Amino acid sequence: MTISPLTRRYPLIALLMLVFSLAAHSGEAPESQPWLDALDTLKKGSMPAREKAILQLAEIKDAHNLAILQALLDGKLYLTKTDAKLVIGTDNHQGFDISNAINGASLGVVEHDALSKINLTNKMRGTLRKIIGELELSADDPKVRLAAVKAMAKDADEKALALLRERGGLEQDEAVRAAIKLTLLLQDMDSEDKGVRIKAIEGVKGFDSQEAANRLNAMVEKDENGEFMEPDGDIRDLAKAALININSRLQLYSSIETVFFGLSLGAVLVLSAIGLAITFGVMGVINMAHGELMMLGAYTTYVMQQLMPNYLGWSIILSIPAAFVISALVGIAIERGIIRFLYGRPLETLLATFGVSLILQQSVRSIFSPLNRSVATPEWMSGSWQINDFLSLTWNRFYILVFCLLVFVLLLQILKRTRLGLEVRAVAQNRKMAKAMGIPTARVDAMTFGLGSGIAGVAGVALSQITNVGPNLGQAYIVDSFMVVVFGGVGNLLGTLVAGFSLGIANKFLEPFAGAVLAKILVLVFIILFIQKRPRGLFPQKGRAADS
């Protein structure tokens, strides 16, 4: 099957074409005489004849036919002036990409004035819309059917309603059936019969539908004369009760959404802080270049995308190990080159690593220019997961949340179950004793720092999906991630997780009242005050390790 320009523009139609091309052979042959006749009438006939032709076409269930009708509705069905052929054309600025309407074969590009459009009246457009809706209503794909129901619900006449009723009985798919039921109930709300209306209101309150909420709202409101829009008191009371029902769910959904946003912000905080929690918590090293290691991870993603522009999804997945390795190597270089001379002098480490962060920032600025680089989001990460009218969760945030938990669990397992993890914990608890037992502390230090830095790189990959990738990316997160580590309690990974998520959620719950900036300030002030009260964070280290 050749891909016509039309299908490129309209994936839905492409899908339909595929579905129907499989079914076409069992149904009426597309090139049947009545079909060709109807198309002929469409070409030449007067407006009334054209209308008739459309109605004739409506009887034929075929993908090609549907594509023609859709093109007709979109004003993309043309007649070639030279040989009066019916073609579907897509404007590409220089001219039209055209394809034969009858068999879908591509006919190349022609100039704008080589075609004349098949015009329609408004009435015909209305008819067409319904016909297309009806054709789609019996499509094989439930998603197409659902879309068709929603489109029909917008201006349903008696015929459409009858069709919906009929489909409602036959429909197998749960979601499509619910959509049909809702459409019918909404229609019934305007019924003459009070009984039907009461039943409709009762029925509609179980649906999470914006439309239903709007209609109910309209029923209980007053017009400018102070009269109720709805004269019937019983109906009004019922509508009020139904509204309370819907609104309580609405509130629930909005809290769920806030919690989700909070969790996703928390996930970003946790991702950026756990690498720090290792270097800061386990090794007692303040790494101010941590943010820049994240930035390196984000730039790695950018470079990977440049290297393989046709495989967006894969480039993101491959960026994860690449970013880990690059940031880890840079981290190890920092540790071997600078930090190992400064153990036991945390304040000096802070200054030196800050210097490193400036150098890294400026290097990136010199190599990649000071402008932000855009990193594309693969298809499976863009868009959102529409649960119902009131609740939708964006995919990229969702994936980052999952990714954050994965990284966390993996890190915990590394520290708990591997040889390296054991050595890291031993050195963290008592460096001298660990050394006495034969643990190569210098090597362990380098590996720990590499691990923490690598995780920063991985966090950078995640960040590249939600913020701009630029030289200042790291700076924006460094203060926040220190706050998370300190709030959670140094040396405690679980504390970092709890702190990150709770700060994220607190931030998002404050935002509606205080605005984004003030919310952030409030959270910062809260942490400053909290540290006064509990200088060692939420989950302080106990025992001998706490003294150092």
- Choose which of 47, 525, 545, 546 interacts with another protein (CB under 8 A): 525
Site membership for another protein, residue 366 (CB under 8 A): yes
CA separation for the pair 319, 299 (Å, rounded): 10
Among 94, 122, 172, 532, the residue binding another protein under the rule CB under 8 A is: 532
Region binding another protein by CB under 8 A among candidate stretches 106-114, 357-365, 377-385, 504-512: 357-365
Is residue 220 close enough to count as binding another protein by CB under 8 A? Answer: no
CB of 491 to another protein, least distance (A): 13
Tell whether residue 350 is a contact of another protein (CB under 8 A).
Answer: yes
Output the DSSP codes for 418-451.
SHHHHHHHHHHH-HHHHHHTT--HHHHHHHHHHH
Q: Shortest approach of another protein to residue 365 CB, angstroms?
A: 7
For residues 464, 467, 471, 472, the Cα torsion angle rounded to the nearest 10 degrees is -140
Residues making up the chain, counted from first to last: 548
- Least separation, in Å, of the C-beta of 339 and another protein? 9
| Segment near another protein (CB under 8 A); pick from 88-96, 362-370, 377-385, 449-457 | 362-370
Q: Which stretch binds another protein (CB under 8 A): 30-38, 81-89, 264-272, 520-528?
A: 520-528
**Under rule CB under 8 A, residue 482 binds another protein:** yes
Q: Does 535 bind another protein (CB under 8 A)?
A: yes
Q: Which two tokens stand for residue 522?
A: 């409030």
8 Å CB contact between 68 and 88: yes
Among 61, 125, 425, 520, binds another protein (CB under 8 A): 520
Question: H/E element holding 97?
Answer: strand 96-100
In sign, the C-alpha dihedral spanning 540, 542, 545, 548 is positive
* Candidates 371-379, 381-389, 395-403, 516-524; binding stretch for another protein (CB under 8 A): 516-524
Q: Of residues 361, 464, 492, 496, which one binds another protein by CB under 8 A?
A: 361
Tell which one of 1, 170, 347, 436 touches another protein (CB under 8 A).
Answer: 347
Asked if residue 518 binds another protein (CB under 8 A), the reply is: yes
Q: Cβ 330 to another protein, closest distance in Å?
A: 14
Q: Residue-wise over 331-363: b if at least 16 C-beta within 10 A, else e?
A: bbebbeebbeebbeeeeebeebbbebbeebbee
Residue 155 CA: distances (Å) to CA of 46, 70, 133, 161: 27, 18, 11, 10
C-beta closer to another protein: residue 5 or 452: 452
CB-CB contact of 453 with 332 (8 Å): yes
Residue (341 or 385) nearer to another protein, CB: 341
Among 282, 286, 411, 499, binds another protein (CB under 8 A): 286
When binding is defined by CB under 8 A, the residue of 15, 303, 325, 342 that contacts another protein is 342
Stretch that binds another protein, among 54-62, 141-149, 240-248, 476-484 (CB under 8 A): 476-484
Contact criterion met (CB below 8 Å) for 147 and 70: no
Per-residue CA distances from 411 to 26, 127, 185, 414, 485 (Å): 57, 61, 53, 5, 16
Provide the terminal-to-terminal Cα distance of the chain, rounded to the nearest Å.
72
Rule CB under 8 A: choose which of 208, 524, 538, 540 binds another protein.
524
Q: Which of residues 312-341 bind another protein (CB under 8 A)?
A: 338, 341
475 binds another protein (CB under 8 A): yes
Rule CB under 8 A: is residue 355 a binding residue for another protein? Answer: yes
CB of 425 to another protein, least distance (A): 21
Taking the complex as a whole, how short is the minimal distance between the CB of residue 522 and another protein, in angstroms? Answer: 9
Q: Which stretch binds another protein (CB under 8 A): 155-163, 257-265, 392-400, 526-534?
A: 526-534
Does 531 bind another protein (CB under 8 A)? Our answer is yes
Cα-flanking dihedrals φ and ψ of residue 469, to 5°?
-95, 110
Total residues in contact with another protein, by rule CB under 8 A: 40
Q: Which of 91, 155, 166 is nearest to 125 (CA)?
A: 155
Among residues 77, 352, 428, 497, the one that binds another protein under rule CB under 8 A = 352
Phi then psi for residue 284, to 5 deg, are 70, 20
Task: Give, as one character, the DSSP assignment of residue 371.
Answer: S
CB 519 within 8 A of CB 307: no
The answer for residues whose C-beta is within 8 angstroms of residue 269's C-beta and 6 or more apart is 480, 481, 484, 500, 501, 503, 504
- The CA-CA-CA angle for residues 375, 381, 382, to 5°, reads 80
Residue closer to another protein, measured from CB, 25 or 533: 533
Structure letter (DSSP) for residue 145: H
Considering the rule CB under 8 A, would residue 198 count as an interface residue with another protein? Answer: no
Q: Which residues bind another protein (CB under 8 A)?
A: 286, 338, 341-342, 346-352, 354-359, 361-363, 365-366, 475, 479, 482-483, 486, 517-518, 520-521, 524-525, 527-529, 531-533, 535
